[in-house]
Chains A and B, each alone.
Chain A
Amino acid sequence: MKVWVPLDAAARALGADEVAEALGREFTVTRNGTRGMIWLEPLVEVERDGVRHGYGPVAPEDAASVAEAIRTGGEHPLALGPVEELPWMKAQTRLTFARVGVIDPLSVAEYEAHGGLAGLRRAIGIGPEKIVEEVTESGLRGRGGAGFPTGIKWKTVAGAKAPRKYIVCNADEGDSGSFADRMLMEGDPLVLIEGMAIAGIATGAVQGYVYIRSEYPDAIRLMEAAIGKARQAGILGQSVLGSDHAYGMEVRVGAGAYVCGEETSLLNSLEGKRGVVRAKPPIPALEGFLGRPTVVNNVISLASVPWILTHGGAEYAKLGIGRSKGTIPIQIAGNVKYGGLFEAAFGMSLRQIIEEIGGGTASGRPVKAAQVGGPLGSYIPHWNFDVPFGYEELATKEGLLGHAGITVFDDTADMLKLARFAMEFCAVESCGKCTPCRIGSIRGVETIDRIAQGDETGIPILTDLCNTMKWGSLCALGGFAPFPVMSALTHFPDDFSGRREPRKEAAE
């Protein structure tokens, strides 16, 4: 009897290791990634007549009774039926995450049996120019937040003349509310390797680096193990899948600096320097790692490429809305009933995502706002939730797609405190290179503290300061920190005025 218990960090945080150990005494347990239904973790699966049935959430103390139900096929209160038939799974379009939660992440054989390596094989067959054409046609844009067209970036690097070029994968996923990169690296690391190898062939780069934040030890371990497997299988090495292309890669570990998610500070960090932002131009595509042409792409961007190469860019571009093509792994997080990762074509409304898919708040209270796109993303008030999920569409509400993470807050949230946190976070994480970010964030904290003490003359000063930071900062850290602050202030002015009086919500 085949049994699966996820090894994903979120499942482990909810007791999956203990469950796997208990079930392992009786069954052969495969540790898979998570299906993304975090509220059902640990989600135990068992195969019956070729169909995977689920039980969840299985706490360690439920392991014995679930084991009996698996053995006897009897009823169990945690039984969910066929996993693929669950509404959350059926409503998705899982392209990039197709194998996550399904296969053993470190099995090349299972990876191939579920469609892996088809993209790389086709890429080798059609050659660099056609690969770039396919990626361009797909409309794929940077999934890390900036939304730059991936095909154009690759074309620039492919056209640059240099003795050595690089593919750098930005896996410094520091945005709160985002965990797609982590989930992918833990659940299907081989798809990222395949995507990076395709990028290498397309641009003539022979070396790749995955820069993973140190806060993700599980992802680091699995990525490193997967690279080892890929070498053994001939996916990486002097001859990629027997072709004339050489491609090697390794993992590099960050050191706890949020700003290193910005591509130029990431490159400095990779070179062993302080993670200080570089002024652009020159762009990394021409002068990147060690001054050489470098593709810097996010995990999800690169991991989407194998599907695009397998099925064609045109197929991918059929999905989505406007200039937001394909699918996006939406991460529903924070105070939400059904939190997790939901991959769908661009275009769902925030309301559908938060209320229908996410089921509203975990606390059962009304939703107040959602922060979309991480600590530098705007707080979108609940009355603006009809905005469709897309790069340009969110921008019309002064919002930011960012990493497609959505953090939900209920009506007890104090928007002034959250605005203060945004400034405090910016102050702690500023690389220090430019003044608006380094000093502005500190003045921002001080000004918000003044407002919190009832001094409303601080409000116009805060607004002015945000304007200076927005237009005067060198990178997105100082440039976007004003977005959560100003959105909180604009949409929830009551949280900023009359602070001398005790807050009503706090009294409950």
Chain B
Amino acid sequence: MTSPATDADFLLRLDEIIAAHKGREGPLLPILHDVQAEWGHVPEEAQPVLAEALGMTRAEVHGVVSFYHDFRDHPHGRHVLRLCRAEACQSMGAEALAEEVRTALGIDWHETTPDGRLTLEPVFCLGLCACAPSAQMGDRLLGRANLAKVQKLVAEAGA
């Protein structure tokens, strides 16, 4: 991945995102969500720009980015498969399913397949606790998930 730091388009787009939220009460999280939606992660180069614009220190912005599980400092795969690891899913065999999926994909939690296609992430509850175990990929949700259903979901997502 090349660094977008000196890219004029990067700064232009970042300014647009900041401008869209700056008037709101507590604008940083909405800005970070948009930044991540735009670049797939929160580029480190964005942090001083955000700090300047919002009257915060760089340390404060970094503190916020690093606090939340959602915000990433590097891009993930083109698709993110999330398997629920919380108690309701555990009661229906989520742990065994996770083991099978990790073996089938050849990656561990937080890892991306070598072709950059898929990242595997744990999630603690999707609110699908009455049809556990559950999984999510993009807009698609899976209830009563098993290895075959997960593999079908992954295959249907294409490249």
Q: How far is the CA of A182 from the CA of B125 in the complex (A)?
A: 11
List of B residues within 8 angstroms of A275 by Cβ: 67-68
- Cβ B91 vs Cβ A179 within 8 A: no
Q: How far is the CA of A246 from the CA of B30 in the complex (A)?
A: 24
Q: How far is the CA of A14 from the CA of B32 in the complex (A)?
A: 32
Q: How many residues of A contact B (CB 8 A)?
A: 63
CB distance from B38 to the nearest CB of A (A): 15
- Cβ B141 vs Cβ A9 within 8 A: yes
- Cβ A38 vs Cβ B87 within 8 A: no
From the candidates B27, B70, B142, name the one contacting A272 in the complex (CB within 8 A).
B27
- Cβ A14 vs Cβ B131 within 8 A: yes
Q: Which residues in chain B, 5-35, are within 8 Å of chain A measured between CB atoms? A: 25-30, 32-33
B134 close to chain A: CB less than 8 A: yes
List of A residues within 8 angstroms of B143 by Cβ: 10, 13-14, 41
Q: How far is the CA of A334 from the CA of B130 in the complex (A)?
A: 6
Q: How far is the CA of A211 from the CA of B130 in the complex (A)?
A: 23
- Cβ B26 vs Cβ A271 within 8 A: yes
- Chain A residue with minimal CB distance to B141? A13
A340 close to chain B: CB less than 8 A: yes
List of A residues within 8 angstroms of B32 by Cβ: 255
From the candidates A178, A274, A332, name the one contacting B63 in the complex (CB within 8 A).
A274
- Cβ A335 vs Cβ B30 within 8 A: no
CB distance from B46 to the nearest CB of A (A): 15
- Cβ A333 vs Cβ B26 within 8 A: no
List of A residues within 8 angstroms of B142 by Cβ: 13
CB distance from B82 to the nearest CB of A (A): 8
- The contact string, 1 if C-beta is below 8 Å from chain A, for chain B 125-149, is 1111111101010010111100000
Q: How far is the CA of A258 from the CA of B64 in the complex (A)?
A: 15
From the candidates B64, B92, B128, name the one contacting A13 in the complex (CB within 8 A).
B128
Given known A217-B139, A252-B29, contact A371–B87 (CB-CB < 8 A): yes
- Chain B residue with minimal CB distance to A260? B68
- Cβ A334 vs Cβ B132 within 8 A: yes
Question: Of residues A13, A258, A429, which shows the largest number of chain B Cβ atoms within 10 Å of its Cβ?
Answer: A13
Q: How far is the CA of A39 from the CA of B64 in the complex (A)?
A: 40
- Cβ A334 vs Cβ B88 within 8 A: yes
Given known A371-B87, A410-B91, A413-B91, contact A255–B68 (CB-CB < 8 A): yes
- Cβ A331 vs Cβ B87 within 8 A: no
Given known A9-B128, A425-B124, contact A255–B141 (CB-CB < 8 A): no
List of B residues within 8 angstroms of A173 by Cβ: 127
- Cβ A333 vs Cβ B132 within 8 A: yes
- Chain B residue with minimal CB distance to A374? B87
- Cβ A331 vs Cβ B29 within 8 A: no
CB distance from B100 to the nearest CB of A (A): 17
CB distance from A438 to the nearest CB of B (A): 13
List of B residues within 8 angstroms of A382 by Cβ: none
Q: How many residues of B contact A (CB 8 A)?
A: 41
- Chain B residue with minimal CB distance to A36? B130
CB distance from B62 to the nearest CB of A (A): 10
Q: How far is the CA of A253 from the CA of B29 in the complex (A)?
A: 8
List of B residues within 8 angstroms of A41 by Cβ: 131, 143
From the candidates A255, A336, A413, name the one contacting B130 in the complex (CB within 8 A).
A336
From the candidates A176, A216, A254, name the one contacting B87 in the complex (CB within 8 A).
A176
Given known A10-B130, A13-B142, A339-B130, contact A272–B91 (CB-CB < 8 A): no
Given known A174-B124, A333-B88, contact A407–B129 (CB-CB < 8 A): yes
Q: How far is the CA of A288 from the CA of B88 in the complex (A)?
A: 33
- Cβ A256 vs Cβ B91 within 8 A: no
Q: How far is the CA of A371 from the CA of B91 in the complex (A)?
A: 10
A391 close to chain B: CB less than 8 A: no
From the candidates B69, B125, B127, B139, name the one contacting A257 in the complex (CB within 8 A).
B69
Q: How far is the CA of A214 from the CA of B136 in the complex (A)?
A: 12
Q: How far is the CA of A10 from the CA of B130 in the complex (A)?
A: 8
Question: Of residues B25, B87, B123, B144, which shows the largest number of chain A Cβ atoms within 10 Å of its Cβ?
Answer: B87
- Cβ B127 vs Cβ A38 within 8 A: no
- Chain A residue with minimal CB distance to B138? A217
CB distance from A264 to the nearest CB of B (A): 14
B90 close to chain A: CB less than 8 A: yes
Question: Of residues B70, B86, B88, which shows the largest number of chain A Cβ atoms within 10 Å of its Cβ?
Answer: B88
- The contact string, 1 if C-beta is below 8 Å from chain B, for chain A 196-219, is 000000000001000000111100
List of B residues within 8 angstroms of A407 by Cβ: 87-88, 91, 129
Q: Which residues in chain B, 97-127, are within 8 Å of chain A measured between CB atoms? A: 123-127
List of B residues within 8 angstroms of A217 by Cβ: 139
- Chain B residue with minimal CB distance to A405? B129
The 5 lowest CB-CB distance pairs between A and B, nearest first, are A272-B28, A339-B130, A176-B86, A13-B143, A333-B129
User: What would 15 A/B residue contacts be, using CB atoms closer than 8 Å?
Assistant: A9-B141, A178-B125, A179-B129, A215-B126, A254-B68, A255-B69, A257-B69, A270-B26, A272-B26, A273-B28, A333-B132, A371-B87, A375-B86, A375-B124, A407-B91
